[in-house]
A and B are shown apart, each in its own frame.
Chain A
């Protein structure tokens, strides 16, 4: 926003000059994006912009969280999300500890609550949790004082992913409320889909959900109605879902879905739901192709599209670090409570 007078050559003053009035950051934890207001999501974007700038420097680090300890507690394997959070923490000069509770080591005797209490006692300022059971971080917040960031719980939520997805969309296409976003694939088992449904609805976009009928939860229509998500629709035909879409977001297909009988074959999924160049041409000419990763190339999306001009899949990953830095800053950057 340049003023009329500042015509100084070589001068760059952009972005807001007066900070948006928001007041205190209300969320002690980041469990899901369903309770973030539009202004709060935009605030996260603003801060992510500043963090992204830090990541372009030669010294990609600022001292903001120096002296704080961030512990990542992953009960489910993940390389990219965990690496992303760790990088974010280190870029803010926080100390990081990474705990990997491989499935085999979590026996009945070690309850989740006990585990987390131990970590709290060791002095964690923030715990970043990923867990295969929906609701696990909510259980944690009832028994711990430490701030908790949900890095994915079961089928339920993945707030940082939804935020980085929205951020990526905004960087390319601006005002999200004018957009039509198609989300394609295994809606039933996808926490990315659920969190994006909330985030996109809050930002005012139209969301079109499409996938094999056995991978669409039976209660979805009731859920849309009950939560008054008036701009979310379910579209059984892929071509209709893609028609005029500004963004096509593909969900990962776990190969076990076929083994558990939900799909006749991967081959049929590819034939009926894979995003190919021909199908993509139904969307807007500038449409973005997105995927939370890791991509099953040749299944959800053809390799050419995955690496083509429409794809912002790699950018999602880099934006992820900036977004996670923003979340850590908001959750841990204040006075110790």
Chain B
């Protein structure tokens, strides 16, 4: 009976091939979902952080998590450990949204390992719906739980298969790091100086290059309440250090251009008041530090600052400098509003282009040892 034979043979062949693929992927386990990579050197793919980080959170040893967007990807755990002690892991995600962070931190906290979390707060991370991921593909939730029965997309997926083959055959088709201290590090080859920071900017439309979405205060609040607030409340023994990592001042001029300035400032004030009740939360604010944000030699574009600054920020947090208070959030907001309204993008870009080229390849060498002076409000 050819029809019956066709059905059975087709299904059996399809299942045999599928099981073979799943077994191979489970054996190689390229995203370290089941175990820390030992058969092959670990590969940390920037483009697959949403898949890799949950496994890393599960199988690596640490007591502190550094996470956030690309701004935090270049924080080196050993530097943090040297300054703060303990054992740090960097679980950052490019274009991380509050949803991405919430899912990842929930998975990490479930392991019981983290006692301290350092996370940068990008305003854009709170745009859109509370369940918006910074990822165009569907969010891989199955990588974030402990249930084996929903792992089929990982075990059978073509993305996993490709990475398994690359690993076994030693191919280097995709960019990756193998050093656990620099899992997501991307700054090699990048230069940090003012002319570079303003490259390609349209002074009349600063956002044209970055295409960041619009935000509403209500939307940002909803995103915080859905993704981060429950973690803080459920883990009173874990210290949450949120960091407003610095942007070049042009970001604030962009906010002003797009009518996003007041929304952003209102969110800053709201978030401070909202979290003031938690003993396990502290916020550090580097957005209104003139020596940083007005000096474009620290940046490679208007969002991303140099590795030296990255270290200095960790040191400042350890020293307790720039920790927000009610007065500070108001003072900083006033300064940011004042600068954003009295400075023009053309003027900042012209100044940047007129500056001498840097003395060192990674930008301005100085970070004032005593910290940065508080902003002066005009």
A and B pair up: no
Binding site for B on A (CB under 8 A): none
**Interface residues in chain B, defined as those with a beta carbon under 8 Å from any beta carbon in chain A:** none
